[in-house]
Amino acid sequence: MKIAVLTGGGDCPGLNAVIRAVAKSAHQNGIEVLGIKDGFRGAVEGDFMPLSISDVSGILPRGGTILGTTNRDNPFAYETKLNGVTKTMDRSDDVLRNLKEHGVDVLVAIGGDGSLNIALKFANKGLSVIGIPKTIDNDLMATDQTFGFQTAVETAQEALDRLHTTAESHHRVMVLELMGRYAGWIALYAGVAGGADVILIPEIPYNLNRVAQSIQRRAKQGKKFSIIVVAEGAKPMGGEMVVERMVAGRFDPIKLGGIGAKIGNDLEEQFGMETRVTVLGHLQRGGSPNSYDRVLSSRYGVAAVDAVLEKEFGIMVALQGRDIVRVPLHQAVDKLKLVPLIDPLLLTARSLGIELGD
């Protein structure tokens, strides 16, 4: 038996911990493991590498992925240069051929909704596929948590702790823009953990007057600074998300970014509040996974190999309560998991008096 592992989409803390767990558990069970370089690009181009025990030694705490990754290069719409002209082609059969040539029986795809959607298409083509849910955004259905999310939240909370001290010294409004795409999970968790005064998420379009009033109320109580956490996908009531740019060839061509600057400008212009804006960006994706993510990643990796041993394919391993379970792959990618308006932490935030902008 031989399995091949790839990491696809944006990287996140814990990818190496999963790769290590898959390799260790597989070798213990007499299964050979190959790594595929740079996500589905390597699968199309036949760029494979061995993943022996020594190849994964020492990578548990390391950020990023030793395999490389990409959030473009979809084999079903793959940009290929032919006679100097770039064409978009279906190269999925090349992937199947490459896997066969390397004697691979099972593909383990570690990814978010983009990569797992591709994995599902391969499952529908008859390939034995197992998915592992990765993304700092925590926006995958059918799992309570993706790995990488907790570490991103911790990084954002540390940033908020630092912003607090400078905000207080200068009596300023500080805006921190966080990642998360169309979901507000990172902003909600980091905002509560970091003691934010305002949390704005895509699921609740905001009214700037409400935000300004909450800051003015604080000022009247003697708190002359305020901290606003805003998810990159947040939008004003009746308005649109702020798109930084379109990136052709990406799984999702829309690259969000800029809502923090918009809120900062609007607060200064419309309410005369001195405001500074920080965009935390890819700091949320880099660095070593925290202990929660190391444990979750290790559990996911081992659970994927268990599924291989029991020959259960077309599934994703998922966290439900304290258990790692198997769910049909399509359940994970049919739609995004957004923050429900009755989410317990959202209700907690309201009870804490945090302004949610609505």
The residues assigned a catalytic role are: 137
Residue 201 phi/psi, 5° resolution? -130, 160
285 near ligand F6P, judged by CB under 6 A: yes
289 near ligand F6P, judged by CB under 6 A: no
137 near ligand F6P, judged by CB under 6 A: yes
41 near ligand F6P, judged by CB under 6 A: no
Neighbouring-strand partners of residue 61: none
- State the nearest-atom distance from the C-beta of 70 to ligand F6P, in Å: 9
Smallest CA-to-CA distance from 78 within 37, 116, 32, 43 is with 43
For residue 193, CA distances in Å to 138, 151, 182, 198, 352 come to: 16, 13, 21, 12, 12
Query: Using an 8 Å Cβ cutoff, are 129 and 116 in contact?
Result: no
- State the nearest-atom distance from the C-beta of 253 to ligand F6P, in Å: 10
Task: Give the Cα separation of 322 and 20 in Å (integer).
Answer: 22
180 near ligand F6P, judged by CB under 6 A: yes
231 near ligand F6P, judged by CB under 6 A: no
Q: Which is nearer to ligand F6P, 147 or 313 (CB)?
A: 147
136 near ligand F6P, judged by CB under 6 A: yes
Give the residue closest to ligand F6P by C-beta.
179
Candidates 4, 6, 10, 146: give the one binding ligand F6P (CB under 6 A).
Answer: 10
Query: Using an 8 Å Cβ cutoff, are 197 and 216 in contact?
Result: no
Range in contact with ligand F6P (rule: CB under 6 A) among 42-50, 78-86, 133-141, 267-275: 133-141
260 near ligand F6P, judged by CB under 6 A: no
Task: Give the Cα separation of 335 and 342 in Å (integer).
Answer: 18
Q: Which is nearer to ligand F6P, 14 or 314 (CB)?
A: 14
Helix residue ranges, H only, 171-312: 185-193, 208-220, 259-271, 291-309
71 near ligand F6P, judged by CB under 6 A: yes
- State the nearest-atom distance from the C-beta of 181 to ligand F6P, in Å: 4
Query: Using an 8 Å Cβ cutoff, are 205 and 263 in contact?
Result: no
- Write out the residues near ligand F6P by the rule CB under 6 A: 10, 71, 112, 135-137, 179-181, 232, 255-256, 285
